[in-house]
Amino acid sequence: MSRDSLLVDSHGRVIRDLRVSVTDRCNFRCMYCLPETEAAFNFYRGRWAAPAPSRPIPLQWSPRANILSFEEIERFVRAAAGLGVRKIRLTGGEPLLRRELEKLVALLAAIPGIDDLALTTNGFHFRHKAEALREAGLRRVSFSIDSLDRDNFKRITGRDGLGEVVEGIRLARELGFHPIKVNAVVIRGANDHEIEALAEFGRQMGVAFRFIEFMPLDSGRAWLKELVVPGSEILARLQKRFPLQPLPPQNPSETAVRWKFADGAGEIGIIAPVSEPFCGHCNRIRLTADGNVRTCLFSVNEHDARTFLRQGATEPEMQEWLRVVVLQKEKSHRIGEPDFVPASRSMSCIGG
């Protein structure tokens, strides 16, 4: 495709990656996303400079009527694929809470031009849907494990589900999903003492383990910069423990800086959007479960695709609309700068 037929923003970045959230609901209450549990509240309470609320504030979910149907998502993705989008990642909330998700996977896998279809999940229900998703055309999956200690896992996620997640990762390997990625959000004072153990888990499982800096995307606005463990600190600790060899980027817009273990068993990656922003190479946009396009994870404005879809917009009309939207993509997220404004919604509502 010529550059004129692609989605290009005003900074010259070509959009190839679309994150599609299928639900804003989640069965976990992770302290970096939905810190609604008493454990999360108690963790943050002693760290807030401002007076803390009397108790955690529950999130309000989008009305079911506002959530895009599979057919509406398929129409949107087909229009995006016609403009050069090649990678689709299904997210949430927890996407496996969406009934018959395999039907959407089959619809998207059949769209010409889509050559990378992946899923991000907390893994709790994965074993129930793994075979159906594989048969429908899903090839890649990413899991989340923020702790290998059962009690700490429950404290961080609000769910006693470590065993189910590990079982899901093993099943993904058996079924031939590849690559399998496992993510951990590192929070100082919560799980930073497990960095080396998590890397060893990834090595033993033969998966790509990703350490992610804590970002200001939680529903309670509890994020504090002091709780961020910089990627450079994570790397220094891992290099003391393991012989690591750097890996070249797979593409210019890759978010993780990657290393492989010297024995070849798996790899690690560090995603450091706070301390080492990679906005200059960002090639993604997001479609929320309730049908809004976000041009940046930290956008304060959204673009209503749902109304346009439900008014019967044709594919060429959707494509022209998308071109205009993408031209408004932000240059950077501005975390850490004096004029930074937090994202308008939490990660659960945006889609990871």
Cβ atoms of 296 and 330 closer than 8 Å: yes
CATH fold of the domain at 3-350: TIM Barrel (3.20.20)
Q: How far apart are CA 36 and CA 31, in angstroms?
A: 7
Residue at token pair 């619809």: 107
Phi and psi dihedrals of 46, rounded to 5?
-80, -5
At 120, which helix (H) or strand (E)? strand 116-120
Phi and psi dihedrals of 276, rounded to 5?
-140, 70
Q: How far apart are CA 346 and CA 40, in angstroms?
A: 16
Tokens linked to 98: 């969406």
In this structure, the chain runs to a length of 352
Cβ atoms of 18 and 91 closer than 8 Å: no
Q: Reduce the DSSP state of residue 110 to 3 states and report it.
A: coil
Question: Amino acid identity of 10?
Answer: S
Tokens linked to 343: 């994202």
Q: Which of 70, 57, 109 is nearest to 87 (CA)?
A: 109
Q: Which of 174, 176, 180 is nearest to 143 (CA)?
A: 180
pLDDT computed for residue 299 by the predictor? 85
Cβ neighbours of 12 (radius 10 Å): 8
Q: How far apart are CA 64 and CA 248, in angstroms?
A: 43
Tokens linked to 107: 């619809």
The residue extents of the domains of the chain are: 3-350
CA-based torsion, 13, 17, 20, 25: positive or negative = negative
Give the contacts of 32 (CB within 8 A, at least 6 positions apart).
Answer: 185, 187, 214, 215, 217, 218, 223, 347
Residue 286 bridge partners (DSSP): 19, 294
Q: How far apart are CA 326 and CA 87, in angstroms?
A: 16
For the CA atoms of the chain, what is the radius of gyration? 20
DSSP string spanning 140-186? EEEEE-S-SSHHHHHHHHSS--HHHHHHHHHHHHHTT--SEEEEEEE
Q: Reduce the DSSP state of residue 116 to 3 states and report it.
A: strand
pLDDT in tens, the chain (352 residues): 667 789 999 999 999 999 999 999 999 999 999 888 889 888 887 675 544 444 545 567 788 899 999 999 999 999 999 999 999 999 999 999 999 999 999 999 999 999 999 999 999 999 999 999 999 999 999 999 999 999 999 999 999 999 999 999 999 999 999 999 999 999 999 999 999 999 999 999 999 999 999 988 787 778 888 999 999 999 999 999 999 999 998 887 788 999 999 887 889 999 998 888 777 788 999 999 999 999 988 888 899 999 999 999 999 999 999 999 999 998 877 776 676 777 777 778 887 6
pLDDT computed for residue 58 by the predictor? 56
